[in-house]
Amino acid sequence: MERKRCTAVILAAGSGSRMKSDTAKQFMMLQGKPLICYALEAVERSKIIDDCILVTGVKDISWVTEEIVLKNHYRKVDTVIAGGSERYASVASAMRLIRSEDMAVPNRDGFVFVHDGARPFLTEKILQDTYEAVQKYGACVSAVRSKDTIKIADEEGFVRETPDRNLIWNMHTPQVFETGLITDAYAALEENLQELKQKGIHITDDAMVVEYFTNRRVKLVEGSYENIKLTTPEDLIVAEQILNKDNRKSLQKLKKMC
C-alpha cells in the first residue's frame, strides 16, 4: 500500500501572558534554545512527517523565518503563516493553506498532525502510535489518563457530580486526522462560527471540531505524561527536570558504548 503524505502543523502563535513574560512562550529559551525548536526538531528527525506548516503571529513571521527556520536549517518547514488570536483560528489558517494546495507538495488525501509548539517533548513513539491509529480510525488524539478525581461543578461552585476517573483523559497533541476530514471540519467551523459563539460554545481543540461537525469518532491514543504543555513559570521548572533526566540517560548510553 502506498504510504500517504503526513503534514505537521506546529502552532506557535500564543502569547506569554500566563508565563508572566513579555516574550511569547514559544520563543522563550529552554536550555539554550527557543522552546519552539524542540517540536520542530522532532519533526525534522521523524521518519513519519514529510513536511510542516509553522503557524505564528503575523508580526513574527519574518523573524521566525530568518532566526528559527533558516538559521536552524529546518528543511521540512514548507511555509510560515500567520495564525489568529485563538487556537482554532491558527489551525483554520493552516487548513485553508492545505485546502488551497499551495504547498510545495500538496497533501490531498494524507494525514495532518496538529501539535502545540509549547509542547517540547514530542517523540517519535508518540508520532508512530498516532500514525498507526489514524490509519485505522481516521481521527485520533495523543492523551493520558487522568491521575486526579474530577468534579463537575454547578454555576454556584458546588460539586454537581463526580465522573468515573477511569473514563477521564487529559488531551495532548498531536491530534491527527485524515486530511479531508480535518480540512472539511474546519471549513464547516468557519461557516458556523458566529452561531457557535451565540450558543456559548468554545472550541478548545481540533478533536472538538471533528466531533461537532462530522460523525467520525476520535480515538484516544495513550501518550506520555512528559508531553507537557508549557503554560506557566512552574512548567519551565518541570521541563528543565525532564531535559536533565534525558541528558543523563544519553550520557549513560554513551559511556556504555565506550
CA atoms within 13 A on the CB side of 158: 2
pLDDT in tens, 127-153: 999 999 999 999 999 999 999 999 999
Buried b / exposed e along 177-212 (16+ C-beta atoms within 10 A): bbbbbbbbbbeebeeeeeeeeeeeeebebbbbbbee
C-alpha span between 30 and 12 (Å, rounded): 15
Q: What is the pLDDT of residue 246?
A: 75
Determine phi and psi for 222, rounding to 5 degrees.
Answer: -60, 120
pLDDT in tens, 224-242: 999 999 999 899 999 999 9
What's the residue count for the chain? 258
C-alpha span between 180 and 109 (Å, rounded): 6
Q: What is the pLDDT of residue 242?
A: 95
Which three-class secondary structure string do you get for 228-254? CCCCCHHHHHHHHHHHHHHHHHHHHHH
Best CA proximity match to 7, nearest among 230, 183, 219: 183
Pairing of the two strands 51-56 and 77-82: parallel
Q: Where are the alpha helices (DSSP H) in the chain?
A: 36-45, 61-63, 87-100, 124-137, 179-198, 206-213, 233-257
Q: What is the pLDDT of residue 258?
A: 52
Check: pTM over 0.85? Answer yes or no: yes
How far is the CA of 254 from the CAs of 32, 42, 134, 250, in angstroms? 22, 21, 35, 6
Low-confidence ranges of the chain (pLDDT < 50): none
Superfamily for the 6-232 domain = Spore Coat Polysaccharide Biosynthesis Protein SpsA; Chain A (3.90.550.10)
Q: What is the pLDDT of residue 1?
A: 59
Q: What is the pLDDT of residue 152?
A: 96
